[in-house]
């Protein structure tokens, strides 16, 4: 069954406890977006917020590192309570490293290792990591901001990745992030997505529980 991961980037930060508790009983994961203003043109939050959220979340934390040099911080996020940690292939490119290093590091900390790419990176670049990764994160908007419009092309990219997994006989989770709602959830799941991140469509909804239920197909 598909996992729904509300992104707290879209929560009301003056009522963060209320918003986390609102989705605790309905969602499968809590998505936590960390931005450094370098890999992406925006800043978000880090360890103090993460630790506070970890104290009240009853579902696993899914940390999305939109930062350069994620290897510096993977261990601390694991210690702070992350169950899933994703990092960008673009971050590895920038530092001249192989993303395989980040994957191995995350796994050594006992968390699920995810490799993410923005919409302008060819999806074929993920193929060499199918064996080693725990999940892939296909960005369906450019990383950095919540509330952007879903890029339709993402559905085909997910289908391409899924088809390659089937060809090699190794099936891993595919997470999709950006502009996800009940209007595109079915197409994404049909294409092969197994984890849906949703910020605005959950936390800006009148009824977040219903919004989550509306993405399960």
Is residue 177 among the annotated active site residues?
Answer: yes
Number of CB atoms found within 10 A of residue 148's CB: 16
Q: Which of 33, 36, 71, 173 is catalytic?
A: 33
| Contact predicate 206/20, CB 8 Å | no
Buried b (16+ CB within 10 A) or exposed e, 89-116: bbbbeeeeeebbebbebbbeeebbbbbb
Which x/- pattern, by CB under 6 A, does the window 45-84 give for ligand DX5?
-------------------x--------------------
Q: Which is nearer to ligand DX5, 170 or 183 (CB)?
A: 183
Q: Which stretch binds Zn ion (CB under 5 A): 28-36, 45-53, 152-160, 201-209?
A: 28-36
Reading across the β-sheet that carries 61-66, which strands appear in turn? Answer: 3-6, 195-198, 173-177, 135-139, 112-117, 82-88, 61-66, 30-35
Which x/- pattern, by CB under 6 A, does the window 153-182 give for ligand DX5?
------------------------xxxx--
Smallest distance from ligand DX5 to CB 86, Å: 9
Q: Applying CB under 5 A, does 175 fall inside the site for Zn ion?
A: no
Q: Which of Zn ion, ligand DX5, none does residue 200 bind to, with CB < 5 to 8 Å depending on kind?
A: ligand DX5
Smallest distance from ligand DX5 to CB 75, Å: 21
Q: Which of ligand DX5, Zn ion, none does residue 179 bind to, with CB < 5 to 8 Å depending on kind?
A: ligand DX5
Buried b (16+ CB within 10 A) or exposed e, 7-33: bbbbbeeeebeebbebbeebbbbbbbb
The Cα 191–Cα 101 span in angstroms is 29
Q: Which is nearer to Zn ion, 138 or 211 (CB)?
A: 138
| Contact predicate 188/149, CB 8 Å | no
| Contact predicate 98/128, CB 8 Å | no
Smallest distance from ligand DX5 to CB 143, Å: 4
Is residue 173 among the annotated active site residues?
Answer: no
Q: What is the contact surface with ligand DX5 in residues (CB under 6 A)? A: 7, 9-10, 31, 33, 64, 141, 143-148, 177-180, 197-201
Q: What is the contact surface with Zn ion in residues (CB under 5 A)? A: 33, 64, 177
């Amino acid at each position: 069954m598909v996992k729904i991961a509300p992104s707290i980037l879209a929560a009301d930060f003056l009522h963060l406890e209320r918003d986390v508790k609102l989705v605790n009983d309905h969602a499968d994961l809590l998505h936590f977006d960390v931005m450094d203003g370098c890999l992406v043109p925006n800043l978000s939050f880090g360890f103090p917020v993460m630790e506070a959220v970890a104290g009240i979340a009853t579902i696993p934390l899914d940390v999305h590192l939109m930062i350069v040099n994620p290897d510096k911080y993977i261990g601390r996020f694991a210690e702070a309570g992350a169950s899933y940690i994703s990092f960008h292939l673009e971050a590895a490119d920038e530092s001249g490293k192989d993303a395989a290093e980040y994957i191995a590091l995350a796994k050594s900390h006992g968390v699920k290792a995810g490799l993410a790419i923005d919409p302008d990176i060819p999806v074929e670049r993920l193929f060499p990591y199918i064996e080693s990764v725990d999940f892939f994160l296909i960005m369906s908007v450019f990383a950095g901001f919540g509330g952007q419009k879903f890029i339709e092309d993402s559905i085909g990219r997910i289908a391409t990745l899924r088809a390659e997994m089937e060809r090699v006989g190794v099936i891993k989770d595919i997470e999709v992030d950006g502009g996800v709602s009940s209007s595109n959830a079915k197409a994404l799941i049909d294409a092969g997505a197994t984890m849906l991140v949703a910020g605005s469509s959950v936390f800006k909804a009148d009824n977040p529980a219903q919004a989550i239920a509306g993405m399960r197909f």
